[in-house]
Amino acid sequence: MKNMQNIKKFEFNILTTDLKFSIYRKCKKLIFITLFILASSFIFACSHKDSEKKNNDKSAEDSQLLQQDKNYNTFYFIFDNISGLPVKSPVICDNEEIGYIDDFDFIKDKLRVITKIYKTKQVFEDAEINIDFIMYKKEKRKLLVIKNPSGASIPLTDKSVKVGKNLIDAGKQRPEFVL
């Protein structure tokens, strides 16, 4: 009888141990799933917050650009080749910085240079528009140079288009091959 009681006690211990192990496994899965959901929620919340911040930064940047555009006229200069002229480089007129290059566009086989020129400065219809190497801030740089005429002339209006020359490429000749 005592043996029977020991066997039943042993079986009960095995059953409770299996039950505890089974509950532990189920809890472990539940804990893992809960942690996964929490981590996913945290990552989503952080990325959503970053996108909101980027949207706010973008709208602030857009309003700043709109505010900045009020100080500039936009002029478009057409060139065959701009020879590596960088965006944001200054536009020079009479050895004075009067604006900057905002962007470039391709128009068929030509390049359109979009410039922002201070509203306080004028570019005239018969001005020479060139890309050339000039001394600027103690170094020789490739810049867009405007040479206004000395006499009276008609000023360009905002969004005007004018054709320019690339003086850097003008001096280059095609190589000749001798056979």
3-state secondary structure 68-136: HHCCEEEEEEEECCCCCCCCCCEEEECCEEEEEEEEEEEECCEEEEEEEEECCCCCECCCEEEEEEEEE
Residue 164 has pLDDT above 70, yes or no: yes
Asked if residue 178 belongs to a domain, the reply is no
pLDDT tens per residue across span 55-110: 555 565 555 555 566 889 999 999 998 877 899 999 999 889 999 999 999 988 99
- Whether residues 1 and 36 fall in one domain: yes
**Do 161 and 123 share a structural domain?**
yes
Same domain, 94 and 65: no
Has residue 178 got a pLDDT over 90?
no
143 and 88 share one domain = yes
Considering the domain boundaries, does residue 177 fall inside one? no
Average pLDDT of the chain, as a whole number: 78
Prediction pTM value: 0.59
**AA letter at 38:** L
pLDDT at 42 > cutoff 60: yes
* Residue at 3 is within a domain: yes
**Do 78 and 165 belong together in one domain?**
yes
Query: What is the mean pLDDT of the segment spanning 102-131?
Result: 92
- Same-domain status, 85 and 147: yes
Which residue range(s) make up the domain with 64?
A: 1-70
